[in-house]
Amino acid sequence: MQNAPKALNTILYGPPGTGKTFRTAHRCVEICDGPLDQPLGQDEIRQRYKKLVEDGRVEFITFHQSYGYEEFVEGLRPETKFVREGEDTEKRSGAGSVDQEPKSSAGFRLVPNPGVLKRIANRARQASFNLTGRQIFKMSLGNPKQGNEYEEIFTQSITESCTLIGKGRQVDWSDPKFDDNGEIDQYQQSNPNAGLLKSDIRMIKCFRNKMKVGDIVIVSAKSNKFRAVGEVKGPYEFSPDSEYWHRRAVEWLWWDSVGRSFKEIYPKIMAQPTIYELQRSLIDDEKLVEVVGGAQTQPYVLVIDEINRANISKVMGELITLLEEDKREGADNEVSVTLPYSGERFTLPANLHILGTMNTADRSIALLDTALRRRFQFEELSPTPKLLEDVEGVKLREVLKAINERLEYLVDRDHLVGHAWLMGAETKADVDDIMRHKIIPLIAEYFYDDWRKVRAVLGGTDDFVQREKLQRPPGLEETDAYEDRYRWTVKGEFHLKAYSRLIEGKHSGGGSED
């Protein structure tokens, strides 16, 4: 298994529109699947993230001002199902119920109900490596007795996350027709000059067709030892440029150059064939899980969107202590707590990652709970103008850069405009719509509707917002201490030159027509 990112608790923070949602999905995939060898497209990331959610390995929640301990950890919920006379309520509601006395009632009772953290923690704790429904194959990858030349295949297999065999000659068996073993036999009979031996055919059938994705491969070593255990991850592939022509993708769960005695997991002596299926009933599942399971527990992720919007002390309660990595289950300083409603002892498993997002414009990071700050690794996501392209003459990179430089000067770096809002713009009309309905209202919110500052951020012209002086109400003398008042409106149309003037910051004094 590839190593997941080390930090168990991470918060991605930044102003609106910096791609926190997509980065969260990407990070979840990276945590669950390991570092990506090749960059995935946005659609591929979203599809994989969706599958992880469906599989229960990722849970997504949003904090808000009313979110509490009961939703996050556990709380009491009413159960309205009729309780029959003399029924043992402990069996119905589970151990730890606050009401375990038999009674007759047509009303309701309160029973402990697990919150989102407890649910995913329990799933993560139970997600150890298991062998249910898997075939297990012995394979030879090189021969330690024959020197380094024959060890290259083992090293290549581990490095490239695959398993390789040279049996079956240099014949491409990837054609779907070879899904049928009869077609493999027919090929041998029709091609006597191919040099295919009966052993070649037997092993190709096993390697190509009998072995399935999800099955387990155990690699033999000298002196009746095994030195690697892997899970088959892909179908048969033909590799014409390799010395060993036939391969399958494998995730290596454990390997060791010294190896361990085969008798630890299987009572019989290993046979000579390159690949064959082990007798499933003889495998010591518990011992094999012990060899690879401890380090191969699948990562799980709880995503907490807008983590800074809730009262952290109220939501997490005593569990704030359990978040620390050295206090997780199995760690040197493991800590457990007794949950108040169920009375259960509870720990956080070491394979559960907490991934939070925080909108800095909603609440300053400086105000975040100190206990939370020291338990999380913070990663800033800043606006990235270089990701934008020009759209029909509008230089989006320069527009965003100019807006953000002025916002940082007038407010701070927590109140900027992210690039993500402009990423989908394909026409100038799209840009105009985003400016009118998203960016300008956001800037006005930053300044509490001080439209003079909004105008300054947009270049100091009337190209985007315009003002109309309001008439002094009758009966007020000129000498009365009333400042001039203005009605501000967002213009209905933005000309192309408006964006150039925004970038240049020219104070044109109001003339904005092309």
DSSP string computed for 84-123: PTT--HHHHH-TT-S--S---BSS-EEEEEE-HHHHHHHH
| CA–CA distance, 10 with 1 (Å, rounded to integer) | 21
- The predicted pLDDT at position 88 comes to 45
Residue in the structure block whose two tokens are 């033909």: 238
Strands 300-305 and 58-62: parallel
Task: Report the pLDDT value the prediction gives residue 478, as an integer from 0 to 100.
Answer: 66
Kindly give the parts of the chain with pLDDT less than 50.
Answer: 1-4, 82-105, 295, 366, 507-514
The domain spans of the chain are 9-67+298-380, 74-114, 136-292, 385-504
DSSP, collapsed to helix, strand or coil, labels residue 255 as strand
Torsion of CA 82, 86, 87, 88, to 10 degrees: 130
Report pLDDT for 110. Answer: 85
Give the span between the Cα atoms of 238 and 247, in whole angstroms: 6
The CATH classification number of 136-292 equals 3.10.590
pLDDT at 50: 93
The model's pTM is 0.64
Model pLDDT, residue 147: 52
Q: How far apart are CA 108 and CA 78, in angstroms?
A: 6
Contact 379, 26 (CB under 8 A): no
**pLDDT value, residue 314:** 87
Instruction: Identify the H or E element spanning 256.
Output: strand 246-261
Question: Would you tell me which CATH number, out of the four given (1.10.4100, 3.40.1660, 3.30.70, 3.40.50), belongs to the domain 9-67+298-380?
Answer: 3.40.50
Q: What is the pLDDT of residue 251?
A: 84
pLDDT at 290: 77
Q: Which residues pair with 379 in a beta bridge?
A: 12
Q: Residue 91's pLDDT is what? A: 39
Tell me the two tokens of residue 30: 């990276």
